[in-house]
């Protein structure tokens, strides 16, 4: 999709929709600098239909008198010019980044609904942020909100949007350089997010571990990253008993996809690891049928890591090396599948008593974490995984669970999440939780009790990171099927994690 900055006459824009964003005023008509649009906004305000609240929209069709050539005009409310409340660590900049993103999302979802293919968004006068950041967030919202996945839908339902947005212009007369920079950053982030959504939307029979590997190779080629794919025989040689164990009930060979962006050996390395479980049936500890189809989304962590590597390739950040690892396999109950009671050995030698084959994510992540840390000696590791149902009970669909052995890294990840509109909430770790996964017959077991399921899962991973600063993001509640944002489709994968990782890399701080 084309997105570009423009400063050409708004009224002559021959597109399908012109989008204005306005701030809510205290009991007054929202202000818009186009006279015709302002007149209509005034009428709507007087009728009590539009005050400019965040999320509100006003759609109308210009008459000849308007001298506007676009077919439709959409006015999107931005809410009042207010600072963030002092809660949950959110800054005013974080809040407004999200407001502009949501306004962009509102613009493109309305365009899809009305079959507008060519749209122009007029940049509002920024509040709190500068022109660069405002353009960045509007662009993110516009592009993420325009996302559709219709590859397999040959017949179209009446109530579904039938158009595609094929051109977006972002209008601004002021600060063209800053607006263009913001637009590029927003585009890189949004395209990485939609790439992750595309991977996750592919069904389990298409997006196999082999496809993960092919996609990794393709990214490496496009962006000159180095790429290493560990095959099943490599895993055997390296004694990666976690991923091999989980894979043993499946016919699809496992893959460990490793992408490396290297600037200099003198720079610190950030390692990102994403759970790439292309379908999780639970294995011998089989899941109930209801909702099992959603377990094709159990690779969203892996998709986020490849999405982030794509953005890294686009932006070529300085002063940092980035490694992305995706352990990929299915979890199926085939004749050689792992059985409850089996004991396996993870890369590096720790033994695990498998008491529930449905707690498989931690087994494949353990190999990837231990191997990645040994091989790349990172300054910090972040892993992302749809790891536990318990995180959905604890935090719902609004926040990702964060668990970390390092307060500085946890802080950086939290800030990155806030800046990208992907908020996280930290849960504790500690010896009292680690005790829950001690095994009588092996070093550890792969489940605790029902209590604190998200924490004991993280405590399991912690066994494999040693002293390296590490943050774990449990995205089981945020990776798919949550609805309340204009720029995230209400069904299917959100692409969560991609922009948090990118923001972490862009703002990487060394102590
Ligand atoms: N992939 C699931 C976690 C999950 C659950 C993701 C719901 C998204 C929505 C994971 O592999 C799993 O099955 N976890 C078990 C662990 C349990 C057996 C200790 C769970 O959360 O029930
Ligand atoms: Mn499972
Ligand atoms: Zn799983």
* pLDDT tens-digit series, residues 475-485: 999 999 987 89
Residue 190 lies in a domain: no
Tokens coding 394:
């604890």
* Percent of the chain with pLDDT strictly greater than 70: 99
Q: What is the pLDDT of residues 26-62, one digit of tens each?
A: 999 999 999 999 999 999 999 999 999 999 999 999 9
Listed range (313-317, 324-328, 352-356, 489-493) with the worst mean pLDDT: 489-493
Q: Which of 116, 144, 175 is the last residue of a domain?
A: 175
Query: Could you tell me the distance, in angstroms and rounded to a whole number, from the CA of residue 93 to the centre of ligand 2?
Result: 38
Count of other CB atoms within 10 angstroms of residue 392: 17
Q: What is the pLDDT of residues 430-486, one digit of tens each?
A: 999 999 999 999 999 999 999 999 999 999 999 999 999 999 999 999 999 987 899
Residue 312 lies in a domain: yes
Residue 332 lies in a domain: yes
Q: 201 and 146 in one domain?
A: no
Query: Could you tell me the distance, in angstroms and rounded to a whole number, from the CA of residue 298 to the centre of ligand 1?
Result: 9
Dihedral through CA 66, CA 69, CA 70, CA 73, nearest 10?
Answer: -10
The string of DSSP codes covering 201-224 is: HS-TTTS-HHHHHHHHHHHHHHHT
Q: 443 and 356 in one domain?
A: yes
Range of the domain at 168: 2-175
- Which residues are found with C-beta within 5 Å of the ion, ligand 2? 280, 358, 360
Q: What is the CATH number of the domain that holds 459?
A: 3.40.630.10
Residue 186 lies in a domain: no
Dihedral through CA 334, CA 340, CA 342, CA 344, nearest 10?
Answer: 80
Cβ atoms of 39 and 92 within 8 Å: the answer is no
| Tally of CA atoms within 13 A in the half-sphere of 107 that contains its CB | 38
> Given this model, what pLDDT does residue 65 score?
87
Q: What is the pLDDT of residues 382-426, one digit of tens each?
A: 999 999 999 999 999 999 999 999 999 999 999 999 999 999 999
Q: 410 and 312 in one domain?
A: yes
Q: Longest C-alpha distance within the chain, in Å?
A: 82
Q: 164 and 212 in one domain?
A: no
Mean pLDDT, rounded, of the chain: 97
**Residues within 6 Å of ligand 1 by CB:** 280, 298, 356, 358-361, 386-390, 447, 453, 476
Is residue 112 classed exposed, middle or buried when 0-12, 13-18 and 19+ CB atoms within 10 A define those classes?
A: buried
The string of DSSP codes covering 27-75 is: SSPPP-SSHHHHHHHHHHHHTTS----TT-EEEE---GGGT--SSEEEE
Instruction: Respond yes or no: is residue 450 known to be catalytic.
Output: no
Q: What is the CATH number of the domain that holds 165?
A: 3.40.220.10
* Percent of the chain with pLDDT strictly greater than 90: 95
Q: Which of 175, 205, 222 is the last residue of a domain?
A: 175
Query: Could you tell me the distance, in angstroms and rounded to a whole number, from the CA of residue 398 to the centre of ligand 3?
Result: 20
φ, ψ at 443 (rounded to 5°): -60, -50
Q: 83 and 227 in one domain?
A: no
Q: 296 and 171 in one domain?
A: no
What pTM, to 2 d.p., does this model score?
0.98
Q: Which among 187, 362, 379, 499 is annotated as catalytic? A: 362
Strand-strand pairing, 17-24 and 72-80: parallel
Q: 422 and 482 in one domain?
A: yes
Tokens coding 280:
């999780």
Q: Which among 228, 287, 350, 426 is annotated as catalytic? A: 287
Residue 180 lies in a domain: no
Cβ atoms of 426 and 404 within 8 Å: the answer is yes
Residue 362 lies in a domain: yes
Reduced to 3 states (helix: H, G, I; strand: E, B; else coil), residue 425 is strand
Residue 183 lies in a domain: no
C-alpha 243/C-alpha 158 separation (Å) is 44
Q: 393 and 250 in one domain?
A: yes
Q: 157 and 230 in one domain?
A: no
Tokens coding 126:
């920024």
Strand-strand pairing, 57-60 and 269-274: unpaired
**Total count of domains within the chain:** 2
Residue 47 lies in a domain: yes
Instruction: Respond yes or no: is residue 174 known to be catalytic.
Output: no
Q: 471 and 338 in one domain?
A: yes
Q: 144 and 208 in one domain?
A: no
Q: 202 and 132 in one domain?
A: no
């Amino acid at each position: 999709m084309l997105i570009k900055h423009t400063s050409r006459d708004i009224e002559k824009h021959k597109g399908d929709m012109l989008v204005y964003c306005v701030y809510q005023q205290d009991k007054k008509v929202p202000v818009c600098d186009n006279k015709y649009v302002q007149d209509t906004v005034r009428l709507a305000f007087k009728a009590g239909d539009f005050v400019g609240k965040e999320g509100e929209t006003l759609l109308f069709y210009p008459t000849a008198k308007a001298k506007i050539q676009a077919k439709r005009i959409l006015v999107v409310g931005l809410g009042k010019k207010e600072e963030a409340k002092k809660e949950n660590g959110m800054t005013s900049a974080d809040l407004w980044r999200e407001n502009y993103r949501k306004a962009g999302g509102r613009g493109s979802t309305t365009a899809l609904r009305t079959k507008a293919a060519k749209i122009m968004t007029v940049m509002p006068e920024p509040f709190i942020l500068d022109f660069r950041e405002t353009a960045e967030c509007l662009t993110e919202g516009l592009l993420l909100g325009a996302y559709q996945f219709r590859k397999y839908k040959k017949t179209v339902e009446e109530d579904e949007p039938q158009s595609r947005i094929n051109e977006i212009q972002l209008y601004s007369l002021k600060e063209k350089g800053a607006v263009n920079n913001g637009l590029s950053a927003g585009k890189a982030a949004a395209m990485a997010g939609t790439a992750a959504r595309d991977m996750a939307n592919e069904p389990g029979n298409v997006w196999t571990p082999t496809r993960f590997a092919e996609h990794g190779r393709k990214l490496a080629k496009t962006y000159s990253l180095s790429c290493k794919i560990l095959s099943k025989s490599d895993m055997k040689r390296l004694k990666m008993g976690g991923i091999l164990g989980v894979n043993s009930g499946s016919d699809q060979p496992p893959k460990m996809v490793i992408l490396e962006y290297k600037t200099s050996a003198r720079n610190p390395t950030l390692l990102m690891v994403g759970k790439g479980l292309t379908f999780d049936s639970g294995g011998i500890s089989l899941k109930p049928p209801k909702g099992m189809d959603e377990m094709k989304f159990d690779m969203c962590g892996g998709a986020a890591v490849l999405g982030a590597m794509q953005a890294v390739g686009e932006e070529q950040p300085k002063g940092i090396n980035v490694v992305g690892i995706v352990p990929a396999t299915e979890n199926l109950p085939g004749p050689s599948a792992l059985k409850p009671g089996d004991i396996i050995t993870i890369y590096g030698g720790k033994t695990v008593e498998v008491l529930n084959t449905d707690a498989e994510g931690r087994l494949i992540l353990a190999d990837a974490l231990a191997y990645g840390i040994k091989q790349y000696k990172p300054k910090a590791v972040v892993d992302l995984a749809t790891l536990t149902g318990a995180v959905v009970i604890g935090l719902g669909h609004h926040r990702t669970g964060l668990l970390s052995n390092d307060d500085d890294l946890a802080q950086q990840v939290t800030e990155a999440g806030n800046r990208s509109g992907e908020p996280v909430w930290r849960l504790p770790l500690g010896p009292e939780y680690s005790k829950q996964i001690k095994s009588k017959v092996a070093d550890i077991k792969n489940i605790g009790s029902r209590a604190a399921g998200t924490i004991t899962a993280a405590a399991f991973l912690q066994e494999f990171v040693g002293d390296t600063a590490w943050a774990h993001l449990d995205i089981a509640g945020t990776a798919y099927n949550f609805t309340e944002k204009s720029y995230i489709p209400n069904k299917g994968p959100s692409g969560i994690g991609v922009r948090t990782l990118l923001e972490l890399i862009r703002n990487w701080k060394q102590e």
